[in-house]
Chains A and B, each alone.
Chain A
Amino acid sequence: MFNKTVKELSLGLSQGEFSSVELTQHYLDRIKAKDGEINSFITVTEEQALNDAKVADQVRADGKAQAWTGIPFAHKDIFCTEGVLTTCGSKMLENFISPYDATVVTKMKQAGSVCLGKTNMDEFAMGSSNETSYFGKVINPWSTKEQLVPGGSSGGSAAAVAAGLAPIATATDTGGSIRQPASLCGLTGLKPTYGRVSRFGMIAFASSLDQAGPMARTAEDAAMMLNVMAGHDAKDSTSIVKDVPDYTANLNNSIDGLRIGLPKEFFNEHLSSELQSILQDSIKQLESQGAIFKEISLPHSHLSVPAYYVIAPAECSANLSRFDGVRYGHRCEDPKDLMDLYQRSRTEGFGDEVKRRILIGAYALSAGYYDAYYNKAQQVRRLIKNDFVSAFEDIDVILSPTSPSPAFGFDAKGDDPVQMYLEDIFTISTNLAGLPAMSLPAGLINELPIGMQLIGDYFEESKLLNVAHRFQTATDWHTLAPKNI
């Protein structure tokens, strides 16, 4: 049962093959049996989940069930959940029981779904390997001899779904944090257009880049979850007033004549030959369905990582200044004065990577450097966006790699943070531009999954899901599961 898609589970529930209580218990049992090795959950909300499942079964008995009624899933521990521990992977929030729900949490509740618990993540979503979580690293369920990273920052969500501990999970993406773990765990993950999903109650990292989306087994499941997550929210002033289409409506559309761009800057000599050939096979598959490929150029894309590592730390240093040890979060013992309270609470509560980014951000925003760093990066950001805008005049979708390589070992990137930052070289530019993008399984390298990335024009999530679904209808990479789960 654990390898079924949400679509299949929804059908099974509606046909009475199993109840939501049985289904929920099945996943809770799997979490108990397997998560000791994987560490993908920070909190399991067993009692609440079984109660919610009972309610869902009653709703179904009353003939009022909808697509999501009684479907179990997991939330990334970045979403505030009323009455439930919400840590953001940090010691700072080790004891934080959220007094309110994030809008995404409210929407999933209203849809009648059953939350199994909160998944592990890089601290404050800063990382590409899940090594920075205060609650311990997450192990990629595809690991065999050597323990491998699940990617990050939504590594707990990805590992949980890949291991069949939840059929689907919420995730967030600031520079690749949905797509890169999806690539490394063999999943389908979608980062929507900036402003498509409300950020209210989603603990902020870099507010102009953060966006929530689904971590799923298939494009169809991702479409189903986006239907629930998307929409304007008066509580998030950056969310966009725009109708939400039914993302499942166009999944089967023909892609005959669809124009797909291949950015020459991404298909360069640094790409491994294995990944090169996987992408070529994917291109051939889509060509066989009538898609037309052409080379495009994104001339400023090499500036994405540099621009990101000014903008993201700058916004993080401003956002994380709220953690002062006064209103909530970690507070040091016996502060001798207010400065000591601030300094020690923050120093004890934040991990090394978070501190590093706060320092970089504080430096980039400090007197005399603002123009040279933050303003400059925001200008370059517009150039990066303009590249995409011109490209989309001639094409419908862009295809590229998601991550440079499949899952790597812990500590593989050494102790130079820049090496880890380069993990997101293909994903960051879409966050800077605010475009929707997804990763879906495209093949195996050394028996480990690796994804390809599809990037769409603003609010064209449906088109991405359509291409991904057509690809998944013709291939079976997305059905592969780790051997030892």
Chain B
Amino acid sequence: MSIGPDDINQIAHLARLKIDEKDVPKLCGDLDNILSLVDQLQAVNTVDVVPMAHPMDAVQILRKDVVTETNHREKYQAVAPNTEDGLYLVPKVIE
């Protein structure tokens, strides 16, 4: 299967990236090469093989239901590009 300009634009939109028109052909080729490398997987018989998410098949450890975190809002918002009154500012969403 080969990746065309429409695919690139669609994936880029999903990933919230903008791709320059002039970069599209090169990117189509790159992604095609990577996908043909990856396509070797399709030849493998994986019937009844359970997908592996953690090498030790570890399960989530639960903590006690008590408050351990303190409020660091000011410290964390100090690195934000734009805040006001403890809120993150973004362009107007609702007119």
Measured CB to CB, the residues of A under 8 A from B are 96-100, 193-195, 208, 234, 237-238, 240-241, 300, 302-303, 305-307, 309-310, 317, 321, 324-329, 331, 335-344, 346-347, 350, 355-356, 358-364, 366, 372-373, 375-383, 385, 415-418, 421, 433-435, 458
Contacts and interface: CB of A to CB of B under 8 A. Distances in A.
A264 B33 CA distance: 27
A368 B78 CA distance: 41
B19 to A, nearest CB: 8
A376 B46 contact: yes
A359 B80 CA distance: 26
Given A358-B17, A359-B12, A97 B79 contact: yes
Nearest to A82: B75
29 contacts: A194-B54, A194-B55, A234-B61, A240-B56, A309-B37, A321-B15, A321-B16, A327-B76, A327-B80, A328-B76, A328-B80, A329-B81, A331-B82, A337-B92, A341-B90, A358-B15, A359-B8, A359-B15, A361-B15, A363-B3, A363-B31, A372-B42, A376-B44, A379-B49, A379-B50, A382-B50, A385-B52, A416-B33, A418-B33
A347 B15 CA distance: 10
Interface string B9-41: 001101111110000001100110111011111
Q: Interface of chain B, helix or strand or loop or mixed?
A: loop
Nearest to A362: B15
Contacts of B67: none
B22 to A, nearest CB: 13
A359 B11 contact: yes
A356 B51 contact: no
B46 A380 contact: yes
A364 B42 CA distance: 13
B17 A328 contact: no
Given A324-B16, A325-B81, A327-B76, 11 more contacts: A99-B72, A99-B78, A309-B37, A326-B88, A346-B16, A356-B34, A362-B15, A379-B52, A417-B33, A421-B34, A434-B55
* Shortest 6 CB-CB contacts between residues of A and residues of B: A434-B55, A378-B51, A331-B81, A379-B46, A382-B52, A362-B15
